[in-house]
Structure 1
């Protein structure tokens, strides 16, 4: 158990955050009591991890690694909020090693394949359980002995609750009887006039030609000079939505590095690990250098961003971005570019077999090292599709001009 900073170290019973086996915890318990509650499960998790380290020469080392890397998921009860994503990260860490097991035993021994399916299903079922019953974290009892002691200590420090608001007044009384009488009388008068037939015109007054506007020029002149007042609609000022300013973020949460809202920054992540994911979100005019080997990298909603990394065991994904430059120093198996305008990828000698998948993107260029320099190759944006009699055949279309 370790604290993030000295400032986080609690000295009394209150809400605070600290780490238990690299898991953020937010509780309302005294430190010694929480440590005592989590001690048995922490010891078991540590025992599993130590067993893996003592058996590095075992033929089942990938099996042991899958269990060792994912077993901290049992500590989901101590995660402050959204423990489901935390369990998923542990499951992803296990998948990295179970894929190796499948590669070694897929066509050799089906028992290992069945073991992989059964083991991964444990964490999938745990995610489903958490999503259904504890989406925002475990709810601590408010009536237990610890909660009672905390409640007693808080008595007297909190002001009494405000008095309840007064009950609403009685509804307004409408004179419904009078309204009905008026409506009936008006309706009777209307029907009486309509029943007169041709005699209804006897009450009309005759209008001479000099009183008709279309036959009297003087009346037309008066009608054009006098304009009826019109209501000018009051201009409504458009709603101004204040622009939200976010603080820049560079921190590790569980297994995810969050790099967000960076402006004109030059950042270096030198403590990246194999099980970690780097998520870069809304960073503009910045550069990010990642040292070491990570699981995957995601660039989302960024502009004029430069990324340099050593090795990625999974995928590098670019989405909804503009003017991105990526340089690979080591290896990367797959890159995905989606909804991006302007992306330059500098490959290394070790990453020439990288698969690059693109969709809804433009101005993409791949630079290949040749003779101590890079040669640029554009990624096709136009395609030609024809029917060969049995299926559709699509190929890149050369620009003619």
Structure 2
């Protein structure tokens, strides 16, 4: 094990350095650095030594890292469209399908949580019995149950426990209905028609597209999400989420729209032209994460922090 760590140390040092650079949100190249850092994270599969090492299987780990890098790459490509073709070409090269084309699909029986050889014991190469090392705590994967798309009690659509399904459609909707999306990973969910509310809970790297919401679209405990409203929504609420891109059209932005965030990071609101045929560019608005509180006339006043380049 010590020899393996020594062999991998130069690679690990570069990965740490890339991660530190990507943590600098003030950098003009923040998004580019995130693409590089998330891509490099895939190399840590080299440290995989077995089910008890605390890592998912190599193919799953690489896929997760690549999906995260692709999230930032897609966002950057949208921002640079028609502005910087050199960077667009660079991003397309990174996104080339050859990177993951050779990976085998991780089936359920291959996942660490389902394997039978999870004891962590290492057979001795000598005659005597070697003491087994204490097994490391396994990295928790998504608690997948049976995939479900169902209307409960003629009131609530439940979409849960999907992984890798990019063609989920909820189309028999009614203004009385709510839609609850839970524990979906690497999915795309499309909600047609008008519904009362949409709740998204515990999802990762998933896109949700809806047409009309009467009350609220709510996200809780999610990561690397994309939510797009094609029609109208009065409020989007984001709580305990890490990475969320919200798309609304210009008509919604000019109304009484509200975006409410709490305990969340990397939230961006993008306003797209109301007319799909328009040549106007989409405008991205980063949501503040840092705030400054001070006393004014005896009252505590809190404002969002702003940073100027220089």
Give the alignment's TM-score, normalised by structure 1: 0.40
C-alpha distance in 2 between matches for 1:388 and 1:245: 51
Q: Does residue 258 of structure 1 match 2:158? A: yes
C-alpha distance in 2 between matches for 1:240 and 1:357: 36
Residue 140 of structure 1 corresponds to: none
Residue 247 of structure 1 corresponds to: 146
Of the three residues 349, 352, 355, the one matched with 2:258 is: 355
2:196 and 2:214 in contact (8 A); partners too: yes
Residue 207 of structure 2 corresponds to: 306
**Offset at residue 273 of structure 1 (A):** 0.9
The 5 Å alignment of 1:99-138 reads none
Residue 384 of structure 1 corresponds to: 292
Change over 3 Å in CA distance of 1:398–1:245 after alignment to 2: closer
Residue 336 of structure 1 corresponds to: 237
1:328 and 1:351 in contact (8 A); partners too: no
Residue 5 of structure 2 corresponds to: none
Q: Does residue 321 of structure 1 match 2:229? A: no
Where does structure 1 differ by over 6 angstroms across 4 or more consecutive aligned residues? 239-243
* CA offset digits 1:273-320 (Å, max 9, x no partner): 111111111101111111111111111111111111011111111111
2:159 and 2:182 in contact (8 A); partners too: yes
Give SS of 1:380's match: coil
The 5 Å alignment of 1:252-291 reads 252-254=151-153, 255-265=155-165, 266-291=167-192
Larger radius of gyration: 1
1:268 and 1:288 in contact (8 A); partners too: yes
Give SS of 2:206's match: strand
Give SS of 2:179's match: strand
Query: Structure 2 regions of 5+ residues with no counterpart?
Result: 1-130, 274-278
C-alpha distance in 2 between matches for 1:397 and 1:239: 41
C-alpha distance in 1 between matches for 2:134 and 2:294: 54
Query: Structure 1 regions of 5+ residues with no counterpart?
Result: 1-233
**Offset at residue 238 of structure 1 (A):** 4.6
Change over 3 Å in CA distance of 1:348–1:400 after alignment to 2: closer
Whichever structure has more helix as a proportion of its residues is: 1
Of the three residues 271, 277, 283, the one matched with 1:368 is: 271
Give SS of 1:373's match: coil
Give SS of 1:347's match: strand
